[in-house]
Structure 1
Amino acid sequence: MDLKTLVNVSAQSACHHLSEARIWGFKRGFIALMLAALLSGCETLPTAPQPINQATTSKPAGTNAVAIRSVKQGLRLARLSREPVASAYRAKAARLALDANRLTEAERILKTVDVSMLNEQSLVDFMIVEALIALDQDRPTVALASLNRTNQGLTHLSQQDQVDIGLAKAMAYEQTGRALAAAQERVLVSPLLTAEAQTDNHEQLFSSLTALPTNLLKNYAEKAVTNDLRGWLSLAAMTKQFQNKPSQQQKSLSRWKRLWVGHPAAIQLPMELALLDSIVAGQPSKIAILLPQTGPLAKAGNAILSGLLAAHFEQGQESELLIYDSHQWESSLELLAKAQSEGAEFAVGPLDKTRVAELSEARLGIPVLALNRPPQSPRQRSRNGNLFFFSLAPEDEARQIAEHSMRTGLNNILLIAPNNDWGDRTTNAFRNSIAESADLNVVERRFEDGESYLPFVRSVLGVDQSQTRANELKRITGKTFEFTPRRRQDIDMIGLLANNAQARQINPALAFYYADDLPVFATSLVNDDQASKISNLDLNGIRFCDMPWKLAPSSAFAEHLQLLLPGASSSLGGLFALGTDAFNVIPRLKQLRELESLSFYGFTGKLSMEDQTLVRSLMWGSFEQGEVLTVPTIVESI
């Protein structure tokens, strides 16, 4: 449901739509915009402010709520009042400012409130505003600290306050990787919601649970304290377990519904599962594979083909495969027509960019999942919506680094990249991701392949300028003195868009020139499977994004495939994973296009769709003592 729809829902339902805010992808101001929609129908405004006892006692006023009609009125009454009434008016004014999407003003007002003077209802206003501002600023621990004041003696919460606090807690838990705690909050608050708001809440609950691994969901389900929660966990576990086998997922869902009659999810299935029947019915019976098996791209094409075949057999060979060597055909359109004439209902490929561009200019008779993006227009649509794009594009990784810098408040970024096409693509993707953020400042520096990195880094960090100033001071004063050069101080983080060999030289140079206290983030290129532990010592401290295939190949299928096919764990491993995901995602493509909030959890990353393009969200890893460590995304124990 988009924000426009939220604003138009009935007043009663709008009061409970806090669950519409999704934990990932927050944009600044979204929570406040949402609350404006929520609360506009919740409050009945009096014709005049209710009189409040202008007590001069130092103790908080009673539990009665302060009623004001506007922020301006609240601040005016606060100026005319003594404590504790003045702080009560300010707390209410801050909440109204937040509802009106005036976050900066709400935060400023909040700083003028004496919390010790607040009565119970005003304290609730205060902590909800404080928490939602913190969530908007991606500071979930601050939000939780504020919301947990409800555990310290607040006993007269209205139903609406319980809803707002419970859902805000759920969002904060989701931001901190505590999906189980978030689910518990959503289950508890669900009975207080309207039917429409319950649906939204359940969608968010199910979505956050399906981000967890299957084995963890099963363990959580065994230890769940309520039947409702246990049902949600078991449903999520089943969904994840059979994500790549829609037919088996359909049978398992029927069994789950028989076991959980009366469960909220059995009464109304999450949208992802409600579409399952149509997904199974729409699976293609013949799939054409259009990949180069000879020619310059044969190595990559055959690696992808191996991944496709492995997924095909693991799925139970429900479809027939028609395999073509695309290198033997001059035109991809002619090859696609040939495949279609032989009964193909879906096609995977081609791999070459020029061939993908050829398809993107045509009207296609069957759906095609191209394994590259056309040059100059990576998000270009097919003319009839039948062409989808999926690749291991480095732009996705650069975007993820940019989004991480925004979430963590690292606003001053030094971007280091090679002076070539790959560097152009990644730096452009990084800059495009932060284009709407006025707070971020980027200093970009490019290096030539093979140049001496020590003087390059010294110049980039401004150490030369520091030394020059010291020499000039010595010349002017005629005195000698001890001097330690300094690096530039206008940097919060470094985005190192380089490969393993380049990073092994640049990273030590950064530390040598006094930048060892700055966080360094990189793309998956730094994680070379063939590099030794000793050589990776020079990468210590670097955090990088990479696919689950390399950082967490925890499924039995992935482990078996890497044992069966030696190349699957080599430098071509990512292409095996691409082939596997390309086959498994076929039945879900239209579902991903229709449900923007839906994700597919693959070996190449968490996949979502934007403009017919599958976009990857990757895991984080880091180098410690020359070893690659996976950064945990789940902070709860079983």
Structure 2
Amino acid sequence: DAERLRYLEADQLNAETRRILGELEQLPDRILLDLSIGTDLLAGLAHALQLKTTSTTDEDAISQWLRKYRAHPLLKARLTDYEFLTEAALPDDFKVTVLLPLSGDWANAGRAIRDGILFEYQQRQTTVGVALTVIDSESLTPEQLIATGQSTDTEFVIGPLQKDKIAILLESQPRMPVLLLNRIQTNALPLKSPTYSLSLAVEDDAESTINQIAREVDQARVVVFHSDSPLGVRSAEAIRQQLTVVGGSHAGQFILDDKKPETAITQAFGVTDSENRRRELSKTLGLRLEHTPRIRQDMSAVVVHTDPKKAQRIRPLLDFYYLDQTPVYLIGAYRDDLHDIVEDLKNTRVMVTPWDLGTPAKQALTSRPLAQGVFGSLVGVGIDAMNMAVQLGFGGSTSIQGETGFLTLGADSMIHRQLSTIHISSTEDITRHLWEPLPSLLQSDLFYAD
């Protein structure tokens, strides 16, 4: 009902607004407080009702409401008891500074993120008062970067992207909240203002995979294959840690050789041990024995961190060595032409972002070159960064469906991305599953309430 207020005029708007406010007045204070936390129209009404009850002369509280809901239909409704809002002076916009490399070696990455930020800013311009300043971080000296963090003309900073720039900014103890665009553990740092981080770190992919497995299998036991690279090692370590969180267990970690991945596969599955037992028994009996190797039976799932090209070669090898129906999860293996290679990827879940699945924002940005190529996901990061900056700046929800995953602000001040999946069945059918959080116990009870 609150969302319908956008489309009502004059007397109908006044009557409907007063009706909703009247119903809100009947709610317990705790529920009213919960409803007021957000940036939607209902949250605006709940917040306005609280102000009417407690803070009609609090200029700062009124200014905060007007900044957050400057286009709210309540301001058009002629309600005399809310004149403390309609007659107040409009506040200044929320001032956000963006620090990105728009020149130099990182220019394409920086411009892709910038395109995403500008897209989201444009989408919100009519409903949220934000003044955006974008600065090329490559053009700033360390002294200028420090000055940005101490500026009274900025209320929120998005960026920097590179770790050397981040170190300079954080060492200066910025006076305003900062949303870093790299994976940085900030919760243990002695900082004056809240500092968050959002990135495309492989740790999010790895944790997402284990969370997905935990939804499908209780107390999962997982075998992990990973590339011989820093990203592969980081992925494997994140998997190990997340298995502990969800109550699963680690069934072994194996490095895939680029030239002979079957070496790790036969070792991991126990095929090598099976063959060795055949040889020993054959030698003892003095007979040539025929046998089919048996693999270990304690695997709930297999996780493989690799690249898209190698995945097409590795996945059939797993079946060749008798994996059978044990599900396989691929990290880092998404490619646009999955439908052309489904024969090689049967019984596989490919971890993907909502952006990979195709979001309305991605469709709207088809004319932007950087949104379509290898930098496309970074455009999604820009959209998510601007979205989260608004949520953090205006007290909105910090658990939202984003372009690069389902975003949740953790206790470690990191914004964690839960990825979605593309499932390729054993019959080569493709289904796409957008991750949604499970309802809480309270929400589950409410679904069936009288």
TM over 0.5: yes
Instruction: Look up the match of 1:364.
Output: 174
Q: Distance in 2 between matches of 1:279 and 1:393?
A: 35
Instruction: Look up the match of 1:577.
Output: 380
Instruction: Look up the match of 2:155.
Output: 345
Report the alpha carbon displacement of residue 357 of structure 1 after superposing the two structures with TM. 3.0
Tell whether 2:67 aligns with 1:260: no
Alpha-carbon contact 1:410-1:493 (below 8 Å) kept: no
Per-residue CA distance 1:313-363 (angstroms, 9 max, x = gap): 2222743322211122342x6325247658232221100122223333331
Instruction: Look up the match of 1:501.
Output: 309
Q: Distance in 2 between matches of 1:438 and 1:319?
A: 43
Q: Distance in 2 between matches of 1:486 and 1:322?
A: 62
From 129, 133, 150, give the equivalent of 1:322: 133
Instruction: Look up the match of 2:390.
Output: 587
Judge which range, 459-468 or 272-281, deviates more.
272-281
Per-residue CA distance 1:362-381 (angstroms, 9 max, x = gap): 3112222111123xx36545
The change in CA–CA distance for 1:612 and 1:412 in structure 2 (over 3 A counts) is: closer
Q: Secondary structure at the match of 1:366?
A: coil
Q: Distance in 1 between matches of 2:18 and 2:222?
A: 54
From 409, 413, 432, give the equivalent of 1:609: 409
Alpha-carbon contact 1:504-1:536 (below 8 Å) kept: no
Alpha-carbon contact 1:623-1:629 (below 8 Å) kept: yes
Higher normalized helix content (fraction of residues): 1
Alpha-carbon contact 1:362-1:382 (below 8 Å) kept: no
Where does 1:399-548 land on structure 2 (aligned, <5 Å)?
Answer: 399-407=207-215, 408-435=217-244, 440-448=249-257, 450-523=258-331, 525-529=332-336, 531=337, 533-535=339-341, 537-548=343-354
Tell whether 2:36 aligns with 1:273: yes
Report the alpha carbon displacement of residue 633 of structure 1 after superposing the two structures with TM. 6.0
Q: Secondary structure at the match of 2:135?
A: strand
Q: Secondary structure at the match of 1:435?
A: helix
Q: Distance in 2 between matches of 1:548 and 1:385?
A: 31
Taking structure 2 as the reference length, the TM-score comes to 0.74
Q: Secondary structure at the match of 1:443?
A: strand
Q: Distance in 1 between matches of 2:350 and 2:186?
A: 23
Q: Given residue 292 of structure 1, which amino acid in structure 2 is its aligned partner?
A: P
Report the alpha carbon displacement of residue 551 of structure 1 after superposing the two structures with TM. 1.7
Q: Given residue 224 of structure 2, which amino acid in structure 1 is its aligned partner?
A: L
Q: Secondary structure at the match of 1:527?
A: coil
Superposition CA RMSD, Å: 3.3
Tell whether 2:430 aligns with 1:631: no
Instruction: Look up the match of 1:10.
Output: none
Where does 1:210-359 land on structure 2 (aligned, <5 Å)?
Answer: 238=3, 257-260=17-20, 263=23, 267=27, 268-269=31-32, 271=34, 273-274=36-37, 276=39, 278=64, 281=67, 284-316=93-125, 318-331=129-142, 334-338=144-148, 341=151, 343-359=153-169
Q: Secondary structure at the match of 1:510?
A: helix
Q: Distance in 1 between matches of 2:203 and 2:250?
A: 19
Q: Distance in 1 between matches of 2:182 and 2:117?
A: 16
Determine which structure has more spread, i.e. the larger CA radius of gyration. 1
Q: Given residue 376 of structure 2, which amino acid in structure 1 is its aligned partner?
A: G
Instruction: Look up the match of 1:211.
Output: none
Where does 1:370-385 land on structure 2 (aligned, <5 Å)?
Answer: 370-374=180-184, 377=185, 380-381=188-189, 383-385=191-193
Q: Secondary structure at the match of 1:343?
A: coil
Report the alpha carbon displacement of residue 442 of structure 1 after superposing the two structures with TM. 3.1
Report the alpha carbon displacement of residue 461 of structure 1 after superposing the two structures with TM. 1.5
Alpha-carbon contact 2:38-2:395 (below 8 Å) kept: no
Q: Distance in 1 between matches of 2:394 and 2:267?
A: 50
Judge which range, 620-629 or 320-329, deviates more.
620-629
Unaligned 5+ segments in structure 2 are 7-12, 40-46, 48-63, 69-91, 439-450
Higher normalized strand content (fraction of residues): 2
Taking structure 1 as the reference length, the TM-score comes to 0.53
Q: Secondary structure at the match of 1:260?
A: helix
Q: Secondary structure at the match of 1:585?
A: helix
Q: Given residue 599 of structure 1, which amino acid in structure 2 is its aligned partner?
A: S
The change in CA–CA distance for 1:293 and 1:380 in structure 2 (over 3 A counts) is: farther
The change in CA–CA distance for 1:468 and 1:511 in structure 2 (over 3 A counts) is: same
Alpha-carbon contact 1:279-1:587 (below 8 Å) kept: no
Instruction: Look up the match of 2:88.
Output: none
Q: Secondary structure at the match of 2:244?
A: coil
Report the alpha carbon displacement of residue 284 of structure 1 after superposing the two structures with TM. 4.9
Report the alpha carbon displacement of residue 537 of structure 1 after superposing the two structures with TM. 3.7
The change in CA–CA distance for 1:479 and 1:570 in structure 2 (over 3 A counts) is: same
Q: Distance in 2 between matches of 1:589 and 1:424?
A: 32
Alpha-carbon contact 2:202-2:235 (below 8 Å) kept: yes
Per-residue CA distance 1:546-596 (angstroms, 9 max, x = gap): 22122251x3x44222x2324323322211111011112212115779x7x
Report the alpha carbon displacement of residue 294 of structure 1 after superposing the two structures with TM. 1.4
Q: Secondary structure at the match of 1:564?
A: coil
From 351, 356, 359, give the equivalent of 1:550: 356
Q: Secondary structure at the match of 1:612?
A: coil
Where does 1:50-199 land on structure 2 (aligned, <5 Å)?
Answer: none
Q: Given residue 431 of structure 2, which amino acid in structure 1 is its aligned partner?
A: L
Q: Given residue 425 of structure 1, which amino acid in structure 2 is its aligned partner?
A: R
The change in CA–CA distance for 1:566 and 1:447 in structure 2 (over 3 A counts) is: same
Q: Distance in 1 between matches of 2:171 and 2:15?
A: 46
Q: Distance in 1 between matches of 2:95 and 2:103?
A: 23
Q: Secondary structure at the match of 1:414?
A: strand
Higher RCO (CA < 8 A, seq sep 6+) = 2
Q: Distance in 2 between matches of 1:520 and 1:423?
A: 17
Q: Distance in 2 between matches of 1:592 and 1:491?
A: 44
Percent identical pairs in the alignment equals 26
Instruction: Look up the match of 2:421.
Output: 620
Report the alpha carbon displacement of residue 257 of structure 1 after superposing the two structures with TM. 4.8
Where does 1:5-24 land on structure 2 (aligned, <5 Å)?
Answer: none
The change in CA–CA distance for 1:498 and 1:378 in structure 2 (over 3 A counts) is: farther
Q: Given residue 420 of structure 1, which amino acid in structure 2 is its aligned partner?
A: S
Q: Secondary structure at the match of 1:571?
A: coil
Alpha-carbon contact 1:308-1:579 (below 8 Å) kept: yes
Q: Secondary structure at the match of 1:365?
A: coil
From 350, 360, 368, give the equivalent of 1:565: 368
Q: Distance in 1 between matches of 2:380 and 2:66?
A: 23
Q: Distance in 1 between matches of 2:208 and 2:308?
A: 19
Q: Given residue 527 of structure 1, which amino acid in structure 2 is its aligned partner?
A: Y
Report the alpha carbon displacement of residue 617 of structure 1 after superposing the two structures with TM. 2.0
Unaligned 5+ segments in structure 1 are 1-233, 243-252
